[in-house]
C-alpha cells in the first residue's frame, strides 16, 4: 500500500509510478463525483450554505483542488492557476451570489438562472476565467446567459430618478419613465408643482 500512497524520491516525469497512478485515480474519482452531483443541483441552491448537498459539492471541489495540486497530471503553470482560480471562485460563490441576488432580486425570476444547474453555470464561469479577460467572472457570466431577459426587462423598464438636493445646486425635480395604456413610452419630468409631459 505504501508504494501507492508515497511519492517516489526520483520523479521520472512520465506520471508512471504507482503513486502517480493512484493519485490519478483519486483525482478522476473526485472530479467525476463533483461533476455528477453539480449536474443535478439547481444554481440557486448554492446560496444555501446549510444545505448538505451544497456542503458536499464545496468539499468535493476542495478535494479536487488538493488532489490536482499533488498530482503530476497538471504540469503547466497556466493550468494550475486556472484550477486555483476556479476553486477560489467556486468556494466564494455562495457569498458572491447571495450579494448579487440581494442587490438584483429580479434575477431570481429569470428562467436563464432558474433552469440552470451549478455544473452548467460554472462551466461558463470556468470558460470566462480561462480566457483571463476578467478577474471576477460570475456577473459577466450572468449577463451573458441572461442577456435576452435583461434586454426584455429594459424594454419594459419603469424608472424613477431624482437628484440628491445636497449634491446638486438645481431646482427640485423628478424624472420617471413608464409605458402608458397604449404601450407608448412616457417620460415625466416634475419640477416643484409644475408637470411637463414629454
Which grid cell is 175?
Answer: 424624472
The alpha carbon dihedral of 120, 87, 63, 71 has a sign of positive
Q: Could you report the per-residue pLDDT of 111-127, keeping only the tens digit for each? A: 999 999 999 999 999 88
How much is the pTM?
A: 0.69
Is the pLDDT higher at 152 or at 39? 39
Q: Which residues contact 6 (CB under 8 A, 6 or more apart)?
A: 19
Rounded Cα–Cα distance for residues 182 and 198 (Å):
15
Other Cβ atoms within 10 Å of 1 Cβ, number: 7
Q: Looking at the structure, do residues 74 and 93 belong to the same domain, yes or no?
A: yes
Q: Are residues 140 and 170 in the same domain?
A: no
The most confident of the ranges 14-23, 44-53, 189-198 is 44-53
pLDDT score for 197: 45
Structure confidence at residue 191 (pLDDT)? 62
pLDDT-above-90 percentage for the chain: 42
Q: What domain range includes position 107? A: 2-152
Examine the domain organization and report whether 144 and 113 are in the same domain.
yes
pLDDT at 17: 77
* pLDDT tens digits along 84-98: 888 999 999 999 999
Q: Both 164 and 147 in a single domain?
A: no
Q: What is the pLDDT of residues 130-185, one digit of tens each?
A: 776 666 899 999 999 999 998 888 777 654 444 444 444 555 656 566 666 676 76
Cα(112)–Cα(96) distance, integer angstroms:
18
Domain identity same for 118 and 166: no
Check whether residue 114 and residue 61 sit in a common domain.
yes
Amino acid at each position: 500500500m505504501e508504494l501507492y500512497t508515497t511519492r517516489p524520491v526520483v520523479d521520472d516525469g512520465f506520471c508512471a509510478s504507482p503513486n502517480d497512478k493512484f493519485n490519478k485515480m483519486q483525482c478522476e474519482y473526485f472530479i467525476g463525483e463533483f461533476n455528477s452531483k453539480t449536474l443535478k443541483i439547481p444554481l440557486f441552491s448554492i446560496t444555501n450554505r446549510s444545505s448538505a448537498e451544497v456542503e458536499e459539492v464545496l468539499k468535493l471541489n476542495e478535494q479536487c483542488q488538493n488532489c490536482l495540486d499533488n498530482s503530476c497530471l497538471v504540469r503547466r503553470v497556466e493550468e494550475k492557476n486556472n484550477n486555483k482560480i476556479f476553486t477560489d471562485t467556486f468556494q466564494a460563490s455562495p457569498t458572491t451570489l447571495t450579494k448579487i441576488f440581494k442587490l438584483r432580486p429580479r434575477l431570481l425570476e429569470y428562467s436563464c438562472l432558474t433552469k440552470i444547474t451549478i455544473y452548467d453555470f460554472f462551466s461558463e464561469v470556468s470558460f470566462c476565467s480561462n480566457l483571463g479577460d476578467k478577474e471576477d467572472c460570475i456577473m459577466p457570466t450572468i449577463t451573458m446567459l441572461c442577456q435576452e431577459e435583461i434586454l426584455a426587462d429594459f424594454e419594459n423598464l419603469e424608472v424613477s430618478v431624482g437628484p440628491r438636493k445636497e449634491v446638486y445646486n438645481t431646482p427640485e425635480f423628478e424624472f420617471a419613465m413608464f409605458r402608458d395604456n397604449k404601450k407608448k413610452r412616457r417620460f415625466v419630468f416634475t419640477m416643484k408643482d409644475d408637470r411637463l409631459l414629454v
